[in-house]
Amino acid sequence: MKLGILACDHVRPALQPRFGDYVDMFKAPLQRHIPNLQLVTYRLCDGNFPDRVTDCDAYISTGSRQSVYSDIDWVRQFSALVVELATNNLPFVGICFGHQMLAQALGGRVERATVGWGVGISTARILQATSWMATDPSTATPDYRLIISHQDQITSLPDATTVLAGNDFCPFGMIQVGQNMLGIQGHPEFSKDYSRELMMIRRDKLGLKKFQNGIQSLNLELDADRIFSWISYFLLSHCEERFNTHSSIGL
């Protein structure tokens, strides 16, 4: 599989020696779960976009400090790219900012959340299990824990959307639009140490209670590798389906 990583931000320079850039956080987990993976990086935030959406078999996007409703050239271009991916039936996984862009670009709405910042480790309840979550969806653990770091949320959904997971704080924590497009609000790529650093940087913005609760939550276990296995199977299954469909019609 040739997978395009759509980079929508950079890790702060002071933190890069310790944590790498956002693209680096995705590489090892994806390579662990997807055999013969070829990764191509497109730094959207620097104006680097695919020449053609068909240059890759599938795409995954990183998070960003920007909002999907920001009046910024590359953000608007990313929105158009998501529409083009949907039109071409290409598999796409959006993480955090990418999850929100998936919803907004295809007709939903994203706004600053009235509940404020979400930080630390959050538990989401699986509302609808799918074949790519487990061999037997009925035996899937009914929830998962991921690091979150966001102050925007999806407030209305596009047509043909299935809500797969959520909680009271973030009802639309994982969505699938149509068959080939998946959005996840949490960050499977983030480590606890990186989450802690972000909370330290934003301590004044978060307020004391939210900061303390976020730091305390880092004592919980993460399900990041489990989510990466879901992402990988989602991409693999839809790429295989697309390949078989095209082969059957002589493309």
Q: Which carries the bigger pLDDT value, residue 131 or residue 41?
A: 41
Residue in this structure with the two tokens 């790519």, named with its chain if needed: 132
Compute the distance between CA of residue 112 and CA of residue 151 in angstroms, rounded to an integer: 6
Total-model pTM: 0.93
- According to CATH, the superfamily of the domain at 2-248 is Class I glutamine amidotransferase (GATase) domain (3.40.50.880)
**pLDDT tens digits, one per residue of 196-221:** 999 999 999 999 999 999 999 999 99
Model pLDDT, residue 138: 52
Model pLDDT, residue 240: 74
Give the CA distances from residue 222 to residues 34, 121, 122, 148, in Å, rounded to whole numbers and listed in that order: 21, 8, 9, 11
Task: Break the chain into its structural domains and give their ranges.
Answer: 2-248
